[in-house]
Chains A and B, each alone.
Chain A
Amino acid sequence: MNGIVWISGAVAVISTLAAVTRRNAVHALLYLIVGMLGVAVVLFAFGAAFAAVLQVVIWAGAIMVLFLFVMMMLSLRTEKRAAVRLRAIIGPALLAVVLAVELMVVMTVAPPQPPAAAAVQPEQVGSSLYGPYAVVVELASVLLLVGVVGAFHLGRGREKDEGR
Protein backbone atom coordinates (compact mmCIF):
# COMPACT_ATOMS: atom_id res chain seq x y z
CA MET A 1 0.00 0.00 0.00
CA ASN A 2 2.76 2.40 0.82
CA GLY A 3 4.41 1.92 -2.46
CA ILE A 4 1.20 2.86 -4.27
CA VAL A 5 1.03 6.09 -2.30
CA TRP A 6 4.55 7.01 -3.22
CA ILE A 7 4.09 6.22 -6.86
CA SER A 8 0.76 8.02 -7.18
CA GLY A 9 2.16 10.99 -5.39
CA ALA A 10 5.07 11.17 -7.77
CA VAL A 11 2.73 10.79 -10.72
CA ALA A 12 0.53 13.62 -9.40
CA VAL A 13 3.42 16.00 -9.01
CA ILE A 14 5.00 15.21 -12.33
CA SER A 15 1.81 15.45 -14.29
CA THR A 16 0.75 18.73 -12.70
CA LEU A 17 4.17 20.10 -13.49
CA ALA A 18 3.70 19.03 -17.01
CA ALA A 19 0.22 20.51 -17.07
CA VAL A 20 1.57 23.86 -16.05
CA THR A 21 4.30 23.91 -18.65
CA ARG A 22 2.54 22.70 -21.80
CA ARG A 23 2.01 25.01 -24.75
CA ASN A 24 -1.11 23.31 -25.92
CA ALA A 25 -4.07 23.89 -23.64
CA VAL A 26 -5.77 20.57 -24.23
CA HIS A 27 -2.56 18.69 -23.54
CA ALA A 28 -2.24 20.58 -20.30
CA LEU A 29 -5.78 19.71 -19.36
CA LEU A 30 -5.22 16.02 -20.02
CA TYR A 31 -2.11 16.02 -17.90
CA LEU A 32 -4.06 17.73 -15.17
CA ILE A 33 -6.74 15.06 -15.20
CA VAL A 34 -4.06 12.46 -14.72
CA GLY A 35 -2.69 14.43 -11.85
CA MET A 36 -6.08 14.62 -10.21
CA LEU A 37 -6.50 10.89 -10.53
CA GLY A 38 -3.20 10.46 -8.80
CA VAL A 39 -4.42 12.65 -5.96
CA ALA A 40 -7.56 10.56 -5.75
CA VAL A 41 -5.48 7.44 -5.18
CA VAL A 42 -3.60 9.16 -2.39
CA LEU A 43 -6.86 10.24 -0.83
CA PHE A 44 -8.14 6.71 -0.90
CA ALA A 45 -4.90 5.47 0.62
CA PHE A 46 -5.33 7.78 3.51
CA GLY A 47 -8.71 6.30 4.29
CA ALA A 48 -10.93 8.97 2.75
CA ALA A 49 -12.87 6.96 0.25
CA PHE A 50 -15.71 9.47 -0.01
CA ALA A 51 -13.25 12.27 -0.77
CA ALA A 52 -11.50 10.13 -3.35
CA VAL A 53 -14.73 9.46 -5.18
CA LEU A 54 -15.73 13.11 -5.05
CA GLN A 55 -12.32 13.99 -6.47
CA VAL A 56 -12.73 11.72 -9.44
CA VAL A 57 -16.37 12.38 -10.18
CA ILE A 58 -16.58 16.08 -9.70
CA TRP A 59 -13.15 17.48 -9.98
CA ALA A 60 -11.72 15.39 -12.66
CA GLY A 61 -15.06 14.60 -14.15
CA ALA A 62 -16.98 17.86 -14.09
CA ILE A 63 -14.75 20.79 -13.59
CA MET A 64 -12.09 19.65 -16.00
CA VAL A 65 -14.76 18.92 -18.57
CA LEU A 66 -16.05 22.43 -18.09
CA PHE A 67 -12.60 23.71 -18.87
CA LEU A 68 -12.51 21.55 -21.93
CA PHE A 69 -15.75 23.00 -23.22
CA VAL A 70 -14.49 26.51 -22.85
CA MET A 71 -11.24 25.63 -24.58
CA MET A 72 -13.18 24.30 -27.47
CA MET A 73 -15.30 27.39 -27.62
CA LEU A 74 -12.29 29.61 -27.62
CA SER A 75 -10.48 27.40 -30.07
CA LEU A 76 -7.18 28.19 -28.52
CA ARG A 77 -4.19 27.85 -30.65
CA THR A 78 -1.00 26.39 -29.53
CA GLU A 79 1.03 29.13 -27.99
CA LYS A 80 3.83 30.07 -30.21
CA ARG A 81 6.56 30.89 -27.89
CA ALA A 82 7.65 28.95 -24.87
CA ALA A 83 5.33 29.15 -21.96
CA VAL A 84 8.05 30.24 -19.72
CA ARG A 85 11.14 32.29 -20.48
CA LEU A 86 13.98 31.94 -18.12
CA ARG A 87 14.70 35.60 -17.63
CA ALA A 88 11.16 36.49 -16.75
CA ILE A 89 10.71 33.88 -14.09
CA ILE A 90 13.84 34.13 -12.10
CA GLY A 91 12.21 36.30 -9.42
CA PRO A 92 9.05 34.33 -8.90
CA ALA A 93 11.03 31.11 -9.14
CA LEU A 94 13.16 32.23 -6.29
CA LEU A 95 10.05 33.11 -4.42
CA ALA A 96 8.56 29.70 -5.00
CA VAL A 97 11.73 27.99 -3.82
CA VAL A 98 11.75 30.04 -0.67
CA LEU A 99 8.14 29.19 0.00
CA ALA A 100 8.82 25.55 -0.61
CA VAL A 101 11.61 25.48 1.86
CA GLU A 102 9.56 27.25 4.46
CA LEU A 103 6.58 24.97 4.02
CA MET A 104 8.78 21.96 4.35
CA VAL A 105 10.31 23.26 7.50
CA VAL A 106 6.94 24.07 8.98
CA MET A 107 5.47 20.76 8.18
CA THR A 108 8.26 18.63 9.46
CA VAL A 109 8.72 20.38 12.72
CA ALA A 110 6.20 18.24 14.54
CA PRO A 111 7.06 14.70 15.64
CA PRO A 112 6.20 12.01 13.08
CA GLN A 113 2.47 11.27 12.93
CA PRO A 114 1.14 8.13 11.34
CA PRO A 115 -2.44 8.21 10.07
CA ALA A 116 -5.14 6.58 12.19
CA ALA A 117 -5.53 2.87 11.95
CA ALA A 118 -9.04 2.82 10.57
CA ALA A 119 -10.44 4.66 7.59
CA VAL A 120 -13.16 7.21 7.96
CA GLN A 121 -16.38 5.69 6.67
CA PRO A 122 -18.71 7.54 4.34
CA GLU A 123 -21.46 6.99 6.82
CA GLN A 124 -19.59 9.13 9.30
CA VAL A 125 -19.20 11.87 6.76
CA GLY A 126 -22.84 11.68 5.80
CA SER A 127 -24.14 11.89 9.34
CA SER A 128 -21.88 14.83 10.10
CA LEU A 129 -23.08 16.56 6.95
CA TYR A 130 -26.68 16.14 7.98
CA GLY A 131 -25.92 16.89 11.58
CA PRO A 132 -23.52 19.57 12.74
CA TYR A 133 -22.64 20.77 9.27
CA ALA A 134 -26.14 21.14 7.91
CA VAL A 135 -25.89 24.92 7.61
CA VAL A 136 -22.63 24.61 5.76
CA VAL A 137 -24.30 22.34 3.26
CA GLU A 138 -27.02 24.89 2.70
CA LEU A 139 -24.44 27.60 2.22
CA ALA A 140 -22.58 25.49 -0.25
CA SER A 141 -25.77 24.99 -2.25
CA VAL A 142 -26.45 28.71 -2.28
CA LEU A 143 -22.92 29.21 -3.52
CA LEU A 144 -23.47 26.80 -6.32
CA LEU A 145 -26.69 28.54 -7.22
CA VAL A 146 -24.84 31.82 -7.37
CA GLY A 147 -22.23 30.24 -9.52
CA VAL A 148 -24.81 28.90 -11.91
CA VAL A 149 -26.71 32.13 -12.22
CA GLY A 150 -23.58 34.20 -12.50
CA ALA A 151 -22.01 32.03 -15.11
CA PHE A 152 -25.22 32.05 -17.12
CA HIS A 153 -25.52 35.82 -17.00
CA LEU A 154 -21.88 36.58 -17.66
CA GLY A 155 -21.50 34.11 -20.42
CA ARG A 156 -24.60 35.11 -22.26
CA GLY A 157 -23.00 37.62 -24.50
CA ARG A 158 -24.49 40.81 -25.73
CA GLU A 159 -27.70 40.57 -27.66
CA LYS A 160 -28.00 42.46 -30.87
CA ASP A 161 -30.59 44.94 -29.80
CA GLU A 162 -29.43 45.52 -26.25
CA GLY A 163 -29.16 49.27 -26.15
CA ARG A 164 -26.70 49.92 -23.43
Chain B
Amino acid sequence: MTTVLVQYGLLLAAALFLVGLAGVLFRRNLLFTLLSLEIMLNAAGLAFVVAASRWQQPDGQVMFLIILAVSAAEAAVGLALILGIHRESGTLDPDELSRLRG
Protein backbone atom coordinates (compact mmCIF):
# COMPACT_ATOMS: atom_id res chain seq x y z
CA MET B 1 0.00 0.00 0.00
CA THR B 2 1.18 3.43 -0.85
CA THR B 3 0.92 6.64 1.02
CA VAL B 4 0.29 8.63 -2.11
CA LEU B 5 -2.57 10.92 -1.46
CA VAL B 6 -5.97 10.01 -2.84
CA GLN B 7 -6.03 13.39 -4.52
CA TYR B 8 -3.22 12.43 -6.77
CA GLY B 9 -4.95 9.22 -7.71
CA LEU B 10 -7.99 11.20 -8.66
CA LEU B 11 -5.85 13.59 -10.60
CA LEU B 12 -4.44 10.71 -12.53
CA ALA B 13 -7.98 9.55 -13.29
CA ALA B 14 -8.86 13.06 -14.42
CA ALA B 15 -5.87 13.26 -16.67
CA LEU B 16 -6.63 9.94 -18.29
CA PHE B 17 -10.25 11.00 -18.72
CA LEU B 18 -9.22 14.15 -20.49
CA VAL B 19 -6.90 12.29 -22.77
CA GLY B 20 -9.75 10.03 -23.70
CA LEU B 21 -12.02 13.04 -24.25
CA ALA B 22 -9.44 14.61 -26.47
CA GLY B 23 -9.31 11.44 -28.49
CA VAL B 24 -13.07 11.45 -28.94
CA LEU B 25 -13.11 15.05 -30.03
CA PHE B 26 -10.08 15.06 -32.26
CA ARG B 27 -9.92 11.77 -34.15
CA ARG B 28 -11.63 11.28 -37.47
CA ASN B 29 -11.97 7.54 -37.21
CA LEU B 30 -14.83 5.82 -35.44
CA LEU B 31 -12.58 3.08 -34.22
CA PHE B 32 -10.36 5.57 -32.48
CA THR B 33 -13.45 7.17 -31.02
CA LEU B 34 -14.40 3.86 -29.48
CA LEU B 35 -10.89 3.36 -28.22
CA SER B 36 -10.88 6.73 -26.58
CA LEU B 37 -14.21 5.91 -25.02
CA GLU B 38 -12.59 2.86 -23.43
CA ILE B 39 -9.90 5.07 -22.01
CA MET B 40 -12.51 7.33 -20.47
CA LEU B 41 -14.35 4.45 -18.89
CA ASN B 42 -11.16 3.08 -17.53
CA ALA B 43 -10.36 6.39 -15.96
CA ALA B 44 -13.77 6.53 -14.33
CA GLY B 45 -13.28 3.08 -12.85
CA LEU B 46 -9.89 4.09 -11.54
CA ALA B 47 -11.45 7.05 -9.82
CA PHE B 48 -13.99 4.81 -8.15
CA VAL B 49 -11.43 2.42 -6.83
CA VAL B 50 -9.08 5.10 -5.57
CA ALA B 51 -11.88 6.86 -3.78
CA ALA B 52 -13.11 3.64 -2.19
CA SER B 53 -9.61 2.89 -0.95
CA ARG B 54 -9.80 5.91 1.24
CA TRP B 55 -12.73 4.38 3.11
CA GLN B 56 -11.48 0.90 2.85
CA GLN B 57 -14.66 -0.39 1.30
CA PRO B 58 -15.19 -2.99 -1.42
CA ASP B 59 -17.88 -0.92 -3.11
CA GLY B 60 -15.37 0.79 -5.31
CA GLN B 61 -14.18 -2.44 -6.77
CA VAL B 62 -17.70 -3.69 -7.26
CA MET B 63 -18.35 -0.54 -9.22
CA PHE B 64 -15.19 -1.13 -11.17
CA LEU B 65 -16.50 -4.57 -12.10
CA ILE B 66 -19.78 -3.16 -13.29
CA ILE B 67 -18.09 -0.49 -15.35
CA LEU B 68 -15.96 -3.18 -16.85
CA ALA B 69 -19.03 -5.20 -17.83
CA VAL B 70 -20.63 -2.17 -19.37
CA SER B 71 -17.53 -1.30 -21.26
CA ALA B 72 -17.22 -4.80 -22.61
CA ALA B 73 -20.79 -4.95 -23.80
CA GLU B 74 -20.57 -1.53 -25.31
CA ALA B 75 -17.32 -2.30 -27.08
CA ALA B 76 -18.78 -5.46 -28.55
CA VAL B 77 -21.90 -3.82 -29.89
CA GLY B 78 -20.00 -0.77 -31.02
CA LEU B 79 -17.50 -2.79 -32.96
CA ALA B 80 -20.29 -4.75 -34.61
CA LEU B 81 -21.84 -1.51 -35.67
CA ILE B 82 -18.53 -0.26 -37.00
CA LEU B 83 -18.28 -3.37 -39.12
CA GLY B 84 -21.72 -2.71 -40.46
CA ILE B 85 -20.96 0.94 -41.19
CA HIS B 86 -17.78 0.03 -42.96
CA ARG B 87 -19.66 -2.43 -45.07
CA GLU B 88 -22.39 0.03 -45.95
CA SER B 89 -20.55 3.25 -46.62
CA GLY B 90 -16.91 2.29 -46.84
CA THR B 91 -15.80 5.14 -44.62
CA LEU B 92 -15.29 5.44 -40.90
CA ASP B 93 -15.12 9.22 -40.78
CA PRO B 94 -17.79 10.52 -38.38
CA ASP B 95 -17.96 13.82 -40.20
CA GLU B 96 -18.96 12.07 -43.37
CA LEU B 97 -21.56 9.97 -41.62
CA SER B 98 -23.99 12.80 -40.93
CA ARG B 99 -27.24 11.76 -42.55
CA LEU B 100 -29.07 11.69 -39.25
CA ARG B 101 -29.68 15.40 -39.13
CA GLY B 102 -32.83 17.45 -38.55
* Residues of chain A having any CB pair with chain B under 8 Å: 1-2, 4-6, 9, 12-13, 16-17, 19-20, 25, 28-29, 32, 35-36, 39, 42-43, 45-48, 50-51, 54-55, 58-59, 62-63, 66-67, 70-71, 73-74, 76, 79, 83-84, 88-89, 92-93, 95-96, 99-100, 103-104, 107-108, 110, 112-120, 124-125, 128-129, 133, 136, 140-141, 143-144, 146-148, 150-155, 157
Evaluate contact between A48 and B16: CB separation under 8 angstroms: no
Interface of B is mostly: helix
Complexed CA–CA distance, A5 and B54 (Å): 16
Complexed CA–CA distance, A43 and B71 (Å): 18
Complexed CA–CA distance, A88 and B27 (Å): 11
Evaluate contact between A16 and B80: CB separation under 8 angstroms: no
Complexed CA–CA distance, A140 and B84 (Å): 26
Evaluate contact between B82 and A70: CB separation under 8 angstroms: yes
Contacts of A103 in B (CB 8 A): 11, 14, 17-18
The verdict on A48 contacting B61 (CB below 8 Å), with A99-B18, A116-B55, A155-B84 known, is: yes
Complexed CA–CA distance, A111 and B17 (Å): 23
Evaluate contact between B76 and A148: CB separation under 8 angstroms: yes
Contacts of A29 in B (CB 8 A): 35
Choose one: B7, B34, B46, B92; the contact of A107 (CB below 8 Å).
B7
> Chain B: how many interface residues by the 8 Å CB criterion?
72
Evaluate contact between B5 and A114: CB separation under 8 angstroms: yes
Evaluate contact between B18 and A1: CB separation under 8 angstroms: no
Contacts of A17 in B (CB 8 A): 19
Choose one: A12, A63, A116; the contact of B16 (CB below 8 Å).
A12
Evaluate contact between B16 and A50: CB separation under 8 angstroms: no
Contacts of A71 in B (CB 8 A): 31
Contacts of B28 in A (CB 8 A): 83
Contacts of A43 in B (CB 8 A): 46, 49
What's the A-B contact tally at a CB cutoff of 8 Å? 245
CB distance from B37 to the nearest CB of A (A): 11
5 A-B pairs in the complex with CB atoms less than 8 angstroms apart: A39-B16, A39-B46, A66-B76, A151-B76, A157-B84
Return the CB mask of B26-39 against A: 1 if under 8 Å, else 0.
11110110111011
Choose one: A5, A70, A124; the contact of B58 (CB below 8 Å).
A124
| Sample of 18 more A-B contacts, CB < 8 Å, known A59-B38, A74-B83 | A5-B2, A13-B19, A20-B23, A46-B4, A46-B9, A48-B64, A55-B42, A55-B45, A63-B75, A99-B21, A103-B17, A113-B54, A116-B55, A118-B56, A120-B56, A128-B58, A143-B73, A148-B73
